[in-house]
Structure 1
Amino acid sequence: MSWTPSCLNWKTMARVYFQEMTQSRAMGFQQKQQFLHEDETPRLCTWESLEKRNLSDTERVPLISEAGPAAFDAAINLLPQLRNDVGVLPQDYALRALCNLALGRSSTIFQWNAKILRFEQTLKGASITGVSRACLDSLAEEIIDTGSTIAKLRTVAERQRYAKIPSATLALNSCVRSILNAIDECMSEQLSSVRSVLQLQNLLAAPKRLLSVLEALVEATKQCESDESVISAVSDHIYDQVQTQYDLCAVLRALLARVSVPWLERLATDIGFCSTETALASGYSIDSDNMSGLEQAITFVDADYKDLIRETKRAVKILRTQDEYHYLLRGDEQAFNALVNPTLDRTELLNISKTYEQMMANRLRSDPAAITSNTLDKLGQPTGRARPENIELATDLSTTPLERIRPLVQTQQRLVNGILLRRLFREHNLRHHLEVQKSYQLLGNADFVLRLSTALFSQETQSAERRRGATLTGEVMGLRLGATHEERWPPASSELQLTLMGILNETYGKISEKKSANGAALPGGLSFSIRQLPESEIDRVLDPNSVYALDFLRLQYTTTPPLDAVITSDTLDKYDGTFRFLLRLLRVGHVTSTLKKVLSSHWKPGHPDVEACKFVQEANQVVCVLMSHAMELGIIQPWRSFQRSIDGLVQVLAREDEAGEIGTKVTLGVEGLRCLHEQCLESIRGRLFLKRRQAKLRQAIEDALNAILKATFALQRDDKQVRAIFKDNKSSFTQSTKEIVKLLQEIVDKPLKTISAAEAEDMEVSRILLSRLNWNEYYT
């Protein structure tokens, strides 16, 4: 967005600053003059006076400077090392050239070199009458630095005026131009009274330090590509400077405030203080790209304030997609102007934010439909956006120009989150969608688990595979996973569809209150689909007797706005990973439940196979412990805690409604609700050992489950070759179980000082699993 600053009154600021500096130096000069007037004849220290000898020629020592500039020039030419071969310039002529140089202007003596961005002296070696060549060179070099800085800053600022650069850089360049103009005007008035190069040097002392700071700011922001990075660079540099240069504090603080205005305008638009129509009319587009700025490593606001702004912007964006003309998004001229006006202090902004909050609360109370439904009328649009005409001089560094706007941002955040939470729970039924995830992705629905197990693993169902000459009957069809070792795997998509297409509809219809013509409407398009697997995992899916045989199967769910603010794509991935692991447990649990039947059908009565019976008992014990741990401690316990938080939030919203308030009692917003959801899933994944740091333990569990499946397959065939396979897998199962116990013991024995509170809770859960899995220390 192009940005053109208003009148900044830099002239007044510069005049005040320069007058203070000049007066302090003038006072010192007057004191010296008063001291000299007390005794017109200077007394010099000589050896004669030291020895208290009164000699007539020591009473008054003649000085060469008293003879005038001409005598000084003649005396200089008498000394070979100081002789000036180029010539002596008239003082008035040279002084005017030096004054022009101090203002960054060329003359016959000093010319601007555009290649090196610096003034150069054309008459090198010349001197001014009454001043030695060495003294003039030193003074000229000092004034060249000042004039070159002014000319370079003006060149850079003018060159970038119409360039495609961040708005904050345009604001900085505009401030630089204004300050340079103020310096030029103030100094021009004072240069007319300059009569010597020493006076000129004294006059330049004040702006010289300010110009060096401006040059450093322009250099520091040269590579910045966003408003946030520009403000970060400017604020960091300014707050370093004001620690030692207190007289520059007011000017630099005003500059930071003005450079921050474009970002504040964008922030005001993003959080709803400017309507969409007004923003578009001003050339500002509201899109997802505007969310990326605060994701950078910025330093001009602290971490909690950055989180507040990010959360508010995201909440407003969600509300805007649902209801573009909501009361909270129509814009408020007073709030907008207060947000971008750096002259207002925190007290004034706090009063404005209270007034705004009360006004919006009254509007929402008078129009209850605005809380849970769209408000499509476009009344109350702000008419204009005014920038402040002046920036006051202030030396208070306790509050930055950006920190002071916190009350307004907090007010908007509370109001928007209050509206969004009510819509999520009441209009979009968030609690039901979360319950669907638990029922299906986390296997919390017993009817779904039973039907899915039957369809996938039962050997008593009809195969859904299409065969030539075989007619499908109306009986229950299934994939019959592991029924025979010759079967084709994985199944075709048509076979998979025939098997699973009715399970979700039938089980969801019993728990849903919303009915459609074809039964219950599945939320989010809930359905079974094929998971995209990496090349390294495809081969192990092809083995029907592997624990990974069902890794291709997933539950497809698409979250619609605004539910996607809580049920995000990341959380869906976590649900999917958990479902994948639970499906493996479910399959092995079904297999171990049929092991006794396998033994009775393949081994003769009266001649029990002790080794097989022992394996069946151990496998049943391990799988039952793992399954109960996964469901009770791994899923149900964290989910209940999450559910209690949601219930408490709903109750607080109800209390606010009774009091006729919005955002006054609720301390949790949409962002906080999303974090609670993610924390719940992270806790579940940690207790199911699905995190990356738990890879060894997870692999040991998968190896044990895989060994159970391989050994069970071997028990179904009564021959010596398969008997050897059974023994190998039984041994592998025992070793894997011992590895599980060992790794659990390492977790339990971890020192408490090195873990967090969440890890300590997970440690206690691991301790319970260890005691149940190895209760008689059988595996140790």
Structure 2
Amino acid sequence: MDPAMWTPLEPFIDPRDVLAHHHQKLQDLPRLAPRFFVPVLENKPQNPIMESLKLEAANTSLPKRPFCPPKLPEELAVLAFDAVEPRRRNPEDVQRSIQQLWMEAATRKLGVRSGMLSWDRLRRTHTDKAVPTVFLSEQEGLVYSSARYHVQPRLYNSMDSILSVNQRELLLSLKSTVLGMSSQFYVWDSVSERFTQVGTLENRKRGVLLLDGKDDAISASIISRFLTVGTLIRRLELLLSSLRTRSAREGPTIHALAHSLSTTLNFIREILSSCPPTADEIASATDMLPLSAIWAHYATHEELLVALAEVYGRDHGRRPDEYDILESSSVPLLSRIFDHLERHFERQSPPIIRATIAFILKNASHGYIQQVAHSIGFGGQPSYKPVKKERKDQYELEEEEEEEEDIFDLLDTIETSFPSFFPLKLLQALPAAQKSLILFRVAQPDHPLLTSPTTKASFRWLWTAEEIWAAWNGNKFPEGSPAPSFAAPSLPPSAVPELSIFKLFDLEPGIQTIDVQDSSSTVLREFVDKFSSSLPLITPTLAELASLTFNDLMQHASTLSSTLLSLFIDSPGKLNFRSHLILLRSYLLLAAPSFKSRLLNALFSDEGEYEVDITPHSMSLRSLRRRPGKKPKEKEGKQPWAVGLSPNLLERETWPPVGADLSFFLRTVIVDSLDQGKETEDGTFEREDVVEEAEWRLGFAIRDLPTGAGKDKWLDPLSIEALDFLYMDYKPPHPLEILISPEILAKYQRMFTFLLRLQRVECALKSLFRMSTHRAIAKFLFPTLSPSRKLLLHFRFVAQAFVSSLSGYVFDTAIGGNFDPFLARLSADLSSTSSSDPNVRDDGFSDVFELAQCHSALLDDILSACLLRSGQRGVGDLLRHALELVLEFTIVVGELHRGRIKEYQAAPLIEELFSKFGTKMTTLTKVLKGLVDKSPSSSKLSLEAYAGGRRRSTGGLDALYHLLIRIDLTDWWSKSPKTA
């Protein structure tokens, strides 16, 4: 066993014993007594002034102390003995000189107020103009730089190219550098596009320029401002050179910007050339120039150039490959300038910066704004080039009459993007006004608004307070005499004034020197001098100022749009939009009784017998001239009876019944249903222009529908989609296509297809009533099956109630409830407007494009009310299936009536159809209740009115509430009939 394991442990030491031991040692130390004594003040009034005088008298009576000068450091000895070094002189002379140095320093003081002296003040050459302070940073440059170099000596770096210059040489060099030119110490580097120190490009060294009396940090800080100014001017000059090389196809804005930039650079150079110090001041300066004052004088100019460099994407901190690419398009270019100008207004930058950028914006945007103004006929009419369609075949013969231009191709050429400084109202009104001008020139090219001279109308930016107040009050702008960009050369007088400008070419070379003075910067200088330092209170922001600036343009745009709108609404003739709406409603929506009755007679039949005229081509002219008393002969067809359709459509037993006879017969339906007009005094009838042209603007057409699985129902005459191949087309006059566009006509045609389906079911139900009620033509249905006959009568009543309610809802609520208020709005007169603005109509339309949108929304509401929108496909299919079941019910009864099926065969079919119909109606009413409950106006059954007492439209989904009211909500139609 290791004996070290039995080493005795150290005894335990109590911490309290240690503290007591140290306390005993502290008591043994000697006590520290104070080395000064403050006598106790006597209990009597104190007089500090007298005490100070007594103390001074006591000090003056003391014997003089021996002078023991300390040993001076070597630096101080150099200052004390300028001629010879101290160690080369007699020691007694050195001691005497040191004593004299201290005595002179004590008596001179050199303006020192604090009584503290630094070692550099002891020399005799110390200036009396020194700042009375003890801080080294506030001493003269040589002292401060020496102290910094002594405390923090510069580290040697082989990659540094150090160049020491004096102030005069540096200022002469910087005067050239700030103008963007190479100088004695700095040259231009075309790669980095910066000014670099001479001799650093070849050796790839870092240039360090040391100004006498300044260290490298202070020298770099002083020189950086001048280098920044020169670099930015040189970069802007290079940008100007590239802008001048742009092609003329890129538009006038980029070239106007180049001219503005050239004027701005000339203006800045003139300012920098006159900045202190001048060359004479530098050459004649006997003392140091105020470098800090000169450096501060260039602060505003540096800020101006930095702002301009930001506008053009040439910031000082960017490399050439990081520059912004200026687009030639006017919109982004002008928006960029305005955004920078607005930013400087928000920052409250110096007025010269805001005025310079405003001048650039004014000149650069002038051509573009004039072009926009001409596009709406303000200050001139735009150049109009008709859009010609390309011929597909090069051998195609030219038409005798020139084809009308497509109005939509013309409107597609309208520019819809504008700069950011255009007000929001103007952005909304400009596209409509530009399109309105195109429509105006097509609709009424001789209108006074297009032919009247508008030379007085012009556009100008508002920058001065006088112009802003004049525009606000509607007064005449103050007279101004803008200086010309270039002064004309002075030439010898000529006898012929018209030929005086060519006198220059008659001179010999070198005879006369023409003095062409560039006064472009004078225009900018006058603009800067007149520029308001702050915006007036009526336009506190730049956006408000832009709104006031474009006020006249906005008024003209509103006038143009409202005038064209009045032409389509208020003026009579073939362009009256209301007359076209009435025509569309009468024919495509079956609102005209004469057309509806003739169409029903041509396409449908409510006869209770299956009969077909056996004469060939029964829908020809010979069939129309048939004697009315002659009955057609019966012919048993091979196909089931398509109840509700006209027998003449089924004579060939092919579907669809296309052919020339059908087209001619339907054409006569349109012509015969047209209004004859009012009878004149001479006995003739005079119709409106719209009705007169309706003979060839309206027409039936046949479209090709898709085929395939589930898409060929229109090929079956028994289907409810049997007549979907037929539609009505309408050709609105030029340029009314903007209000009756193909998209809007497509919505009319969808309604026309739906109405044909509904009329087919109605006619089929009428035939059912004839088959089951009129004893003269009907057979007794279900003579032995009494429950089936009762179910047939009950189903007939329920179907008739549903279809008649749906038909009444479609024509009265869905169509009439939306169309009538819209027509009433179009009847509003400008003279009855309640607004103070004469361009705002009481009908709420601001331009024809808003009217077209409202027209489209009207059809959307009608389609929504009839459950025909694409988003209502589910509930729309329920309604269509319910109508299909009713039609199938009539077809089954028709086959039973013809004897093609037996009553025991028809009974289960009718029971199945009635069960399906009840299920569909239950689901349909449940979905309709859900849609009505979601509608915000579900509880408003009464027709509300607009302001002015006009009727309010029933709307789309809101109208479904009326459909639920028409359909009995007690579900009595789903109950089985009672047995007797």
**Taking structure 2 as the reference length, what is the TM-score of the superposition?**
0.60
What is the match of residue 369 of structure 1? none
Equivalence map 1:644-683=2 (5 Å): 644-649=824-829, 652=832, 668-671=845-848, 673-683=851-861
Distance 1:47 1:755 in 2: 98
Equivalence map 1:756-771=2 (5 Å): 762=956, 764-771=958-965
Change beyond 3 A, Cα 1:234–1:745: farther
Change beyond 3 A, Cα 1:751–1:636: closer
Distance 1:570 1:207 in 2: 60
1:404 is aligned to 2:582: no
Distance 1:739 1:481 in 2: 35
Equivalence map 1:47-66=2 (5 Å): none
Pick from 578, 582, 586: which aligns with 1:435? 582
What is the match of residue 180 of structure 1? 265
What is the match of residue 726 of structure 2? 553
What is the match of residue 345 of structure 1? 468
Distance 1:530 1:578 in 2: 16
Equivalence map 1:299-314=2 (5 Å): 299-314=420-435
Structure 1 position 421, deviation (Å): 2.0
What is the match of residue 967 of structure 2? 773
CA contact (8 A) 1:269 1:279 kept: no
CA contact (8 A) 1:715 1:723 kept: no
Deviation track 1:70-94 (CA, whole Å, cap 9, x = no partner) reads: 9958984996525686342434444
What is the letter of the counterpart of residue 806 of structure 2?
A: L
1:413 is aligned to 2:558: yes
1:450 is aligned to 2:592: no
Distance 1:101 1:553 in 2: 84
What is the match of residue 539 of structure 1? 712
Distance 1:412 1:580 in 2: 41
Distance 2:364 2:595 in 1: 60
Equivalence map 1:153-552=2 (5 Å): 153-161=236-244, 162-163=246-247, 164-165=249-250, 167-190=252-275, 192-193=277-278, 198-199=292-293, 201-219=295-313, 222=325, 226-247=329-350, 248-276=353-381, 295-296=416-417, 299-330=420-451, 332-338=453-459, 344-345=467-468, 347-348=470-471, 351=474, 392-394=530-532, 395-396=534-535, 397-398=540-541, 399-411=544-556, 413-414=558-559, 417-418=562-563, 421-422=566-567, 425-428=571-574, 429-458=576-605, 462=613, 474-475=625-626, 480=646, 487-510=653-676, 520-522=692-694, 525-531=697-703, 533=705, 538-552=711-725
Structure 1 position 315, deviation (Å): 2.7
Single out whichever of 146-155 and 177-186 deviates more from structure 2.
146-155
CA contact (8 A) 2:613 2:648 kept: no
Structure 1 position 415, deviation (Å): 6.2
Which has the bigger relative contact order, CA under 8 A and spacing at least 6? 1
CA contact (8 A) 2:932 2:938 kept: no
Change beyond 3 A, Cα 1:455–1:325: closer
Single out whichever of 160-169 and 175-184 deviates more from structure 2.
160-169
Single out whichever of 603-612 and 739-748 deviates more from structure 2.
603-612
CA contact (8 A) 1:588 1:709 kept: yes
Change beyond 3 A, Cα 1:99–1:296: same
What is the match of residue 128 of structure 1? 210
Structure 1 position 438, deviation (Å): 0.9
Structure 1 position 527, deviation (Å): 0.6
CA contact (8 A) 1:457 1:590 kept: yes
CA contact (8 A) 1:464 1:499 kept: no
Structure 1 position 466, deviation (Å): 5.4
Q: Secondary structure at the match of 1:776?
A: coil
Deviation track 1:416-466 (CA, whole Å, cap 9, x = no partner) reads: 634662465223343322211110111111121122122222366759985
Q: Secondary structure at the match of 1:272?
A: coil
Q: Secondary structure at the match of 1:644?
A: helix
CA contact (8 A) 1:231 1:259 kept: yes
Q: Secondary structure at the match of 2:700?
A: strand
What is the match of residue 804 of structure 2? 624
What is the match of residue 24 of structure 1? none
Q: Secondary structure at the match of 1:154?
A: helix
Deviation track 1:27-56 (CA, whole Å, cap 9, x = no partner) reads: xxxxxxxxxxxx98466897999xxxxxxx
Structure 1 position 624, deviation (Å): 1.0
Single out whichever of 262-271 and 75-84 deviates more from structure 2.
75-84
Distance 1:254 1:59 in 2: 49
> Share of identical aligned residues, percent?
21
CA contact (8 A) 1:433 1:523 kept: no
Distance 1:471 1:287 in 2: 45
Distance 1:510 1:463 in 2: 35
Distance 1:597 1:466 in 2: 27
Deviation track 1:103-148 (CA, whole Å, cap 9, x = no partner) reads: 3334464444445444444532332332323334455555444433
CA contact (8 A) 2:433 2:560 kept: no
Distance 2:614 2:472 in 1: 72
1:687 is aligned to 2:763: no
Change beyond 3 A, Cα 1:90–1:621: same
Q: Secondary structure at the match of 1:345?
A: helix
Change beyond 3 A, Cα 1:688–1:290: closer
Pick from 149, 161, 164: which aligns with 1:86? 161
Structure 1 position 320, deviation (Å): 1.9
Distance 1:728 1:182 in 2: 95
Single out whichever of 549-558 and 758-767 deviates more from structure 2.
758-767
1:587 is aligned to 2:765: no
Distance 1:554 1:740 in 2: 28
Q: Secondary structure at the match of 1:704?
A: helix
Distance 1:179 1:138 in 2: 27
Normalized per residue, the structure richer in helix is 1
CA contact (8 A) 1:711 1:727 kept: no
Change beyond 3 A, Cα 1:65–1:408: closer
Q: Secondary structure at the match of 1:426?
A: coil
Distance 1:290 1:180 in 2: 42
**Taking structure 1 as the reference length, what is the TM-score of the superposition?**
0.74
Pick from 786, 791, 797: which aligns with 1:611? 791
CA contact (8 A) 1:346 1:404 kept: no
CA contact (8 A) 2:602 2:646 kept: yes
Change beyond 3 A, Cα 1:523–1:157: farther
Single out whichever of 596-605 and 756-765 deviates more from structure 2.
756-765
Single out whichever of 617-626 and 523-532 deviates more from structure 2.
523-532
Number of equivalences: 690
Distance 1:192 1:452 in 2: 98
Unpaired runs of at least 5, structure 2:
1-108, 120-130, 201-205, 283-288, 314-322, 386-406, 478-522, 633-643, 679-684, 773-777, 896-900, 945-951, 975-980
Distance 1:353 1:625 in 2: 67
CA contact (8 A) 2:612 2:647 kept: no
What is the letter of the counterpart of residue 505 of structure 1?
A: V
Change beyond 3 A, Cα 1:420–1:749: closer
Equivalence map 1:128-147=2 (5 Å): 128-130=210-212, 131-141=214-224, 143-147=226-230
What is the match of residue 375 of structure 1? none
Single out whichever of 266-275 and 447-456 deviates more from structure 2.
266-275
Change beyond 3 A, Cα 1:573–1:470: closer
Change beyond 3 A, Cα 1:473–1:243: closer
Equivalence map 1:24-39=2 (5 Å): none
CA contact (8 A) 1:421 1:670 kept: no
Structure 1 position 317, deviation (Å): 2.4
Distance 1:260 1:676 in 2: 36
1:747 is aligned to 2:931: yes
Q: Secondary structure at the match of 2:728?
A: strand
What is the match of residue 318 of structure 2? none
Distance 1:42 1:670 in 2: 84
CA contact (8 A) 1:86 1:125 kept: yes
Pick from 725, 737, 741: which aligns with 1:564? 737
Q: Secondary structure at the match of 2:572?
A: helix
